[in-house]
Amino acid sequence: MAPPAAAMAFASHSGWAAMVVLGKSAAGLEVLARSRIELIDTHDPDSKQPYHAVEMVCVEEAMGRLDGYMAVAKSMAHQAIHAERANLEKRGYRLIAVGILESAARKTSSLASILASHAAIHAADGDHFRNALAAAAEQDSLAVRRIKARALEDETAADLRQPVQKLRDTIAGLGRQVGAPWGADQKQAALLAWLMLSGRCP
């Protein structure tokens, strides 16, 4: 018999991410883990907002510094994901996928165009940490799904064929399993993990 499945999901912020892991077995859904993942070197406070940190330097220098920030964030994310995956395996679960909540901000591809727009800099700062989480999960050969937070409830309701209010009630019930903190980050991450466990998302 195959081991029960687990899915991990993240709600990221500047320099850190909230992580929730759900498991699915014959008994139903269960919160297997919940934590805060650090994604920056605390001795380098500029890395918390990497694109802001390079706003006033030339593109070539900015690119080099951003690569360094990304290497650190990816390494820290990979350590956290890999350690949690190993812990799940010891508990008899198989991690099948990692989900990352996306923002609704428009992405700009050119570094020069990002640095020329304060709005684009804000968006790129957020995307920096989501990209680090995705790259770290892929390094562990895990499937990754990124979905816009504002579309999550509707998409999950459609995929699971359940009304939104029932989804909310179920997620609230999961929160009662583990207690506080169970805020918006944890609720959205749990919902995304549930969507991945459904077996209907790519």
> Is 202's pLDDT higher than 70?
no
For helices 164-178 and 152-160, what crossing angle results, to 10°? Answer: 100
Mean pLDDT of 98-125: 88
> Is 21's pLDDT higher than 70?
yes
pTM score, whole prediction:
0.93
CB count within 10 Å of CB 99 equals 30
The Cα 57–Cα 161 span in angstroms is 50
Q: What is the pLDDT of residues 72-81, one digit of tens each?
A: 999 999 999 9
Q: List, in order of start, the domains of the chain with CATH numbers.
A: 5-197 (3.30.420.10)
pLDDT computed for residue 81 by the predictor: 97
The Cα 152–Cα 147 span in angstroms is 7
Average pLDDT, rounded, for the chain? 92
pLDDT computed for residue 30 by the predictor: 94
